[in-house]
Structure 1
Amino acid sequence: MTPLPSTGSSPVEPQPGFRVLPYLQAPSSEAMTLVWISELETSGTVTVNGPGIGRQTFTSDPQYLDLMEYSDAELAQGIDGLDQGSWLFSDNNYQHVVEIDGLMAGKTYRYTVDQDGVEHSATFTTAPDADRWNHVRLMAFSDTETEPAGRIEHREWETAWAGLADGSADRPAIDSLWAERYGTAVRYGEELVRYPMNQADALDANIATIAEQDPDLMLIAGDLVQGSGYQPAWDEFWRHFAGDSSDLASNVPLVTALGNWETYASISGGYGTPEDRTPVVVSRNRYLDYMVTPGDPANPQVRDSYYRLDHGPVTILTLDSTNGLPDENTATGMLSGEVFSGDDTNLTPERMSTDTQGSFTAEEYGEAFADVYGTDASESDLPDLGEGSAQWEWAEAQLADARAQGQVVIVQFHHAAYSSGVHGTPPNHEFADNQSGVAMRAYTPMFEEYGVAAVISGHDEMFERSFVDSDGDGVGIQVYDVGVAADGLRGEQLYQTEDGSYEPIRFNTHSEWSASVDEPELWENDTNGNPQLVDGGLHYGHLQMDLQRTRCGSELTLTPVYLFPLLDAEYNVTGTERRVYDDVVTLELTADGEVVADNSCRGNAHRN
């Protein structure tokens, strides 16, 4: 594949050892895939010790990743506050993929990878047997959106619509010590102080807190980087997950989804132009090069952009929500349904949207893909998400199979179908959004029919839970926006009224809880009269999902965790504290993996 044009090369010489530390992919009860990136074209060795295999050694076959070369714009980029180019590596990226099979279920293995005489050791644990397990812990967040600028950038910090808690002091003003230290930003016509932690520190704290809880899997529901076609963003992502900052991905498998930022090239071309969408093709395939997933064997053309993982009693379906047909675009008036107003009770079938991406069409992408690969446009790797598509048929077949096996089913994709945020309204709404996730609501009847317990998404950079029970049987689906990994801390989507004030749109009538609405901030003035944050408000965090076996079947506890910033009297961040928002949900499930409507204990005690 032809990368973005570049006439220069990185000033950094290739180094021995690891550019990206080993990270775990495609986990199962019998196998694990190790992936790492080096800068030299030399084979590495993996030594694995554990039950059933004793001690085995594998040798890797390095493959050059030409997409990862820096563009001229990336080489010339300057970032205020950072030394120019201090974030760059060499242009060399050699990928090593080693699959280790013949493993035993629910066992821990120690491994060491030697690359150019540099060693990295870690452990992994295989998935338990579906009939022999006690506890499974999953962690999920979205919108890490890494980039070098995140090391110094403090994002906007919207005031929760809930406002301030009873008895709270006022938030720091725009002329306060807080504002002097962290700056201000304008949201909906109001100037507000920025968040006290920069994006990089916030992500590191999030990852460290997750690691302390010893999860089985780490789910990232899209927008991993601030533009997948922007290589420094990927370098920064791996620094956090498999590099200088942490090696979480060396010990816990990453289960990731494509987001809209995985189709964007940032300063290396953005979304391209209608005549040339090459930057989108490069961005998407850069993600697909890094992630090694099981995919859809019947549709290898899409390069594993959607896939299934079974982890003991849990089935996780990851969908690709980046494209729908017919294409929609608010800028051109290309809409699938009539324009309407009000909340989603007015979302009739005739008004249902079909697309999540208004910045390019599937046809434009297909033409660019054909130009880059020298194929026919019909061979594009961009799947449709809609009814009747290959992805749709695959998803229904996997759900039917998982239900027949008595699995607890979780689905993840990026574009939140139910949201009160800026992407919560469809492109044919009075207050339209051009990258709305509403089109993904088409899957809701399917999810309900096959007993999906929870749906994990992001995109709106909020923490929100919606409950959807469209067939009225009392069971329904818990739907989460977990876009609080490390980027923006946004609140509800607002609109400006005739008198100039702002009010929430609240298109999503299924919302049950959100940090924006239900978690007011509590401030107390210190002895110097400076307000200090005590609790509540919008913060970075993640969703912890614990599946525990019970005498009737199992319980799935969904815990919204946030990282409370600890500050001294001068507003210096001294650390974070793991806290839990007041919306812990526990679902009772039968031995066949289905949610019980009334939380009454019934069903068989164990799966036979």
Structure 2
Amino acid sequence: MKKTALATLIVAASSIGLTACLDGSNSSSDKVAPIPEEIAPDTRVLVLPYLQNPTQSAISVIWFTDTAVPGELVVDGVGSFASEPELVEALGYGESEIAYIHGDKNFGGIHADVTEGQAPALPYRHAVRVEGLSAATTYDYQVRQAGSETLMEAQFTTTPATGGRANIRFLAMSDMETEPESTDKIVAWGASAAAVGSGKLGTDPGTYNRMYPVDQTTGFRANIQYAMERQPDFWVIAGDLVEKGGRQLDWDEFWRHTAGEWSNIASSTPIFPALGNHENYWHPEGGSYSPPAVMRSYDKWNSYWELPRNYGTDERYEKRYYRMDYGPITLITLDSSNGDDSDPLKDTNLAIDGVQSRVPDFNRGSEQWNWAINELADAQARGQVIFVQFHHTPFGTGVHSLPSGSAGIANNEDSQSGQPMRIYHELFVRYGVTTVLAGHDELLEYVELDGVHYWDVGFAGDGLRGPGYAPTTDYVPFDQLPAQAQATHWSAHGDAPEIWNGNQLIDGGKHYGFLEVEVRPSGNEDYEVIMTPRYAFPLMDESGTVTGEFAHRQYNKVVRVPVER
């Protein structure tokens, strides 16, 4: 039921100002009269309104334009408020990006309207936080942008009261790694070796060079359409949202999918992201994982997201790890980007200098570790159903589940291994974490260990690789898993065999998708958590040619977990 509420408007004039409005203060600013439509210059909306940081009494609406003309947010039953646009210089373009826009390989037509040889205009950020709302209430809203014919309409819903009993549905995915090059770019699609009489976690040698039938752009778009159909309360992305965190074109592509020409899922579904290794990466102009590259990449990350504060000692730790409460759910997001630089066995990225790049360590005794203990203990004491997300999957069988080291994948070592994140397992068991959501291996994979349910949800829209890294190495690190994890292991690669009718795929195999998580009240105080992996299946005709249509399906692995409070 929609309710009328008094609201205060907090307009962020800077990222510092945005942070300040999340500390529980009652600061507000006066309404700003919008520029009359008839005198406003032509304005393009570059990123449609998207939702951030919902609580039981507040929510933020953010959008981007190409001029400094204020926009107007109208919330049904609450009021009308003007934005104060802020120029965001961190969202600029490098020379290679300008060359790509005007080159002959811009198959997706990104920024096709930009004058030859020029860069797209720097964007202006509009951020409006509305407070004084009612818990668990849906509001209609509009964003009107003077100088633009675009009228944006959607709904947002505030969270249930923390600890309140509610039925919640959210989606989890990772590793979409958006970039303009995803259009017309298909990926390797290895099949399980079980079909040829070998182990199910191996890859059929006949499929080493087999390519997926649709490109990455098409696959991710189909995935998002399925996600929207499920009407989630919020959306968790466990890292690698973009291919290169320091490259603006890759962020532009992400918003085309989520708050742009291809969908507006983010206009009604708040996103809670974690940083992946690709969010710390910039190439070719920035030196991969060099400190300037990591810093530039963080500046872009910081410009887009408004997330709960962690009050870290370094301002650049903000938005890297945080806690979110959504009724009976607590989501703890950790930053697995960097560990102990002096010990490869305690580091997930041997190329990042954590001190110079101002990236927090995650290891025992670090600031992030101690923060996690405090938040997990508090959530457990409040009887919350606890979920944790970070990027580097700790218990997997993919290339990034090889032992940590610099010897190379061909020698069965990986410089970006997820194994160091196993250090948190003891905390997850101690504080009753139900589920851990991760990615990085680009698998759909599950294990249960000591009552904690681990998912790799890295099948959103990029790679569709299998375990190991065939054909570079035929070693699959299944033996690296603890015995209980081996006994409970499931993967789309090995446990959802492809079913063919001649050249036509009928069912099964690994496809782009997401994990759906439902938290349902059970009895007077308890809950049941139901986890269902779903996927967008590309339909084929009898000749094996894709039709352009997708069927919405689920895998044969539904995990139900009773949670006692």
Asked if these proteins are the same fold (TM beyond 0.5), I'd say: yes
Query: 1:288 deviation in Å?
Result: 1.8
Aligned partners of 1:62 and 1:96 also within 8 Å: yes
| Match for residue 47 of structure 2 among 20, 36, 58 | 20
1:505 matched residue in structure 2: 477
| Match for residue 443 of structure 1 among 412, 424, 437 | 424
Aligned partners of 2:394 and 2:420 also within 8 Å: yes
Query: What is the TM-score with the length of structure 1 in the denominator?
Result: 0.78
Give the SS at the match of 1:222.
Answer: coil
2:466 matched residue in structure 1: 491
Query: 1:495 deviation in Å?
Result: 7.3
Aligned partners of 1:411 and 1:455 also within 8 Å: yes
Structure 1: how far apart are the matches of 2:262 and 2:420? 37
Query: 1:160 deviation in Å?
Result: 2.2
Aligned partners of 1:544 and 1:561 also within 8 Å: yes
Q: Does residue 152 of structure 1 match 2:180?
A: no
Structure 2: how far apart are the matches of 1:73 and 1:272? 18
Inter-CA distance 131–225: structure 2 relative to 1 (3 Å threshold): closer
Aligned partners of 2:71 and 2:145 also within 8 Å: yes
Inter-CA distance 189–213: structure 2 relative to 1 (3 Å threshold): closer
Query: 1:360 deviation in Å?
Result: 2.6
| Match for residue 504 of structure 2 among 523, 532, 536 | 532
Give the SS at the match of 1:234.
Answer: helix
Structure 2: how far apart are the matches of 1:83 and 1:414? 28
Query: 1:508 deviation in Å?
Result: 2.5
Give 1:577's aligned amino acid: A
| Match for residue 171 of structure 2 among 139, 143, 148 | 139
Q: Does residue 266 of structure 1 match 2:283?
A: yes
1:465 matched residue in structure 2: 446
RMSD: 2.4
Q: How does 1:533-548 map to 2 (within 5 A)?
A: 533-548=505-520
Structure 1: how far apart are the matches of 2:174 and 2:560? 22
Inter-CA distance 191–296: structure 2 relative to 1 (3 Å threshold): closer
CA displacement, residues 275-323 of structure 1 (integer Å, 9 cap, x when unaligned): xx31221012211211110120354621221111100000001111101
CA displacement, residues 344-387 of structure 1 (integer Å, 9 cap, x when unaligned): xxxxxxxxx2111122322442xxxxxxxxxxxxxx3x111111
Structure 2: how far apart are the matches of 1:190 and 1:436? 25
Inter-CA distance 452–250: structure 2 relative to 1 (3 Å threshold): same
Q: How does 1:203-282 map to 2 (within 5 A)?
A: 203-271=220-288, 277-282=291-296
1:303 matched residue in structure 2: 318
Give the SS at the match of 2:296.
Answer: helix
CA displacement, residues 231-274 of structure 1 (integer Å, 9 cap, x when unaligned): 1111100000000001100000001000000011133324165x
Aligned partners of 1:465 and 1:479 also within 8 Å: yes
2:72 matched residue in structure 1: 45
Q: How does 1:166-565 map to 2 (within 5 A)?
A: 191-271=208-288, 277-299=291-313, 301=315, 302-328=317-343, 335=344, 353-365=345-357, 380=358, 382-428=359-405, 431-469=412-450, 476-494=451-469, 502-506=474-478, 507-509=480-482, 510-511=485-486, 512-525=489-502, 531-552=503-524, 553-565=526-538
Give 2:295's aligned amino acid: V
Structure 1: how far apart are the matches of 2:497 and 2:513? 16
Structure 2: how far apart are the matches of 1:479 and 1:82? 38
Structure 2 segments unaligned to the other structure (5+ residues): 1-13, 15-40, 115-119
Structure 2: how far apart are the matches of 1:581 and 1:519? 7
Q: How does 1:575-590 map to 2 (within 5 A)?
A: 575-590=549-564
CA displacement, residues 568-596 of structure 1 (integer Å, 9 cap, x when unaligned): 23403331112111111000111x2xxxx
Aligned partners of 1:230 and 1:268 also within 8 Å: no
Structure 1: how far apart are the matches of 2:110 and 2:385? 47
1:63 matched residue in structure 2: 86
Structure 1 segments unaligned to the other structure (5+ residues): 2-13, 167-185, 329-334, 336-352, 366-379, 470-475, 526-530, 593-608
Aligned partners of 2:341 and 2:350 also within 8 Å: no
Give the SS at the match of 1:502.
Answer: coil
CA displacement, residues 193-243 of structure 1 (integer Å, 9 cap, x when unaligned): 211111111111111111111100100110000101111111100000000
Structure 2: how far apart are the matches of 1:431 and 1:114? 55
Structure 2: how far apart are the matches of 1:421 and 1:326? 23
Inter-CA distance 465–107: structure 2 relative to 1 (3 Å threshold): same
1:163 matched residue in structure 2: 195
Give 1:65's aligned amino acid: V
Inter-CA distance 101–294: structure 2 relative to 1 (3 Å threshold): same
Give 1:493's aligned amino acid: G
Query: 1:79 deviation in Å?
Result: 5.6
Query: 1:504 deviation in Å?
Result: 2.6
May I ask how many residue pairs the two structures share in their alignment? 501
CA displacement, residues 404-439 of structure 1 (integer Å, 9 cap, x when unaligned): 111000000011111100000232496111001111
Inter-CA distance 412–520: structure 2 relative to 1 (3 Å threshold): same
| Match for residue 120 of structure 1 among 143, 152, 156 | 152
Aligned partners of 2:189 and 2:208 also within 8 Å: no
Query: 1:494 deviation in Å?
Result: 5.0
Inter-CA distance 84–410: structure 2 relative to 1 (3 Å threshold): closer
Structure 1: how far apart are the matches of 2:236 and 2:217? 19
Aligned partners of 1:155 and 1:195 also within 8 Å: yes
Query: 1:449 deviation in Å?
Result: 0.4
Give 2:389's aligned amino acid: Q
Structure 2: how far apart are the matches of 1:84 and 1:575? 22
Aligned partners of 1:270 and 1:280 also within 8 Å: no
Give the SS at the match of 2:195.
Answer: coil
Give the SS at the match of 1:400.
Answer: helix
Inter-CA distance 70–219: structure 2 relative to 1 (3 Å threshold): same
Query: 1:74 deviation in Å?
Result: 0.8
Inter-CA distance 190–567: structure 2 relative to 1 (3 Å threshold): closer
Aligned partners of 1:460 and 1:481 also within 8 Å: yes
Structure 2: how far apart are the matches of 1:122 and 1:282? 32
Aligned partners of 2:447 and 2:454 also within 8 Å: yes
Inter-CA distance 551–408: structure 2 relative to 1 (3 Å threshold): same
% identity of equivalent residues: 37
Structure 2: how far apart are the matches of 1:357 and 1:483? 18
| Match for residue 76 of structure 1 among 94, 99, 103 | 99
Give 2:143's aligned amino acid: V
Give 1:239's aligned amino acid: R
1:172 matched residue in structure 2: none
Give the SS at the match of 2:284.
Answer: helix
Give the SS at the match of 2:51.
Answer: strand
Aligned partners of 2:233 and 2:270 also within 8 Å: yes
